[in-house]
């Protein structure tokens, strides 16, 4: 495995790129300030654009690290971030990582996050050398599970009361894909 960091990636409709310090206002407008988007997430809705700006600046600083993977999901037609996709944890000893993502409500149901996750999976397997990529979701948010399954991940099971998000302690479903599955 060779960490390569957050490289710019492109799909038919999206540009996946490192965050910049200037992304804060778009983040707040498009997803971090929307309680419906953050409903099943582990971080609270941002109370102001300033909080999103601080986070964007932090992610921009982290972008240079080879083991940091945090993409702004940019819709080409709009030319601004509409969501984020990240490796939220990784274990180099077994070449595995966990993905986390969110997308602004105005873009739900269009297959955009599936498109982004597929491209990140491709990159992490082929260029970084990951062996296992997993993600989990609150069982009350099956749309997130559909993203994972459409991106090629397999449902592996439910961990009862194993997660905590803005809804409290929740059951989480786990999905994963192995390099050998491709």
Q: How far apart are the first and last CA of the chain?
A: 17
Other Cβ atoms less than 10 A from the Cβ of 144: the count is 22
CA gap 31, 46 in Å, rounded = 9
* Mean pLDDT, the chain, integer: 97
pLDDT in tens, 151-165: 999 999 999 999 999
Give the Cα separation of 88 and 105 in Å (integer). 21
Looking at CATH, the fold of the domain delimited by 9-130 is given as Aminopeptidase (3.40.630)
Give the pLDDT confidence score for residue 182 in this predicted structure.
Answer: 86
Q: What is the mean pLDDT of residues 79-105?
A: 98
Residue 128 has pLDDT above 90, yes or no: yes
For the chain, give every domain's residue range: 9-130
Is the pTM for the entire model greater than 0.85? yes
pLDDT tens for 12-58 read 999 999 999 999 999 999 999 999 999 999 999 999 999 999 999 99
């Amino acid at each position: 495995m060779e960490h390569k960091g957050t490289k710019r990636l492109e799909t038919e409709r999206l540009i996946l790129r490192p965050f910049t310090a200037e992304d804060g206002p778009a983040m707040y407008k498009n997803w971090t300030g929307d309680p419906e988007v953050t409903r099943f997430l582990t971080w609270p809705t941002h109370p102001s654009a300033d909080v999103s700006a601080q986070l964007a600046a932090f992610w921009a600083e982290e972008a240079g690290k080879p083991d940091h993977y945090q993409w702004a999901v940019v819709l080409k037609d709009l030319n601004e971030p509409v969501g984020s996709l990240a490796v939220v944890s990784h274990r180099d000893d077994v070449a595995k990582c966990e993905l986390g993502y969110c997308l602004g409500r105005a873009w739900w149901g269009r297959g955009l996050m599936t498109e982004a996750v597929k491209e990140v999976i491709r990159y992490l397997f082929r260029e970084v050398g990951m062996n296992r990529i997993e993600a989990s979701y609150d069982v009350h948010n099956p749309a997130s599970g559909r993203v994972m399954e459409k991106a090629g991940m397999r449902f592996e099971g439910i961990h009862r009361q194993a997660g905590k998000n803005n809804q409290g302690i929740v059951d989480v479903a786990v999905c994963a894909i192995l390099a050998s599955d491709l």
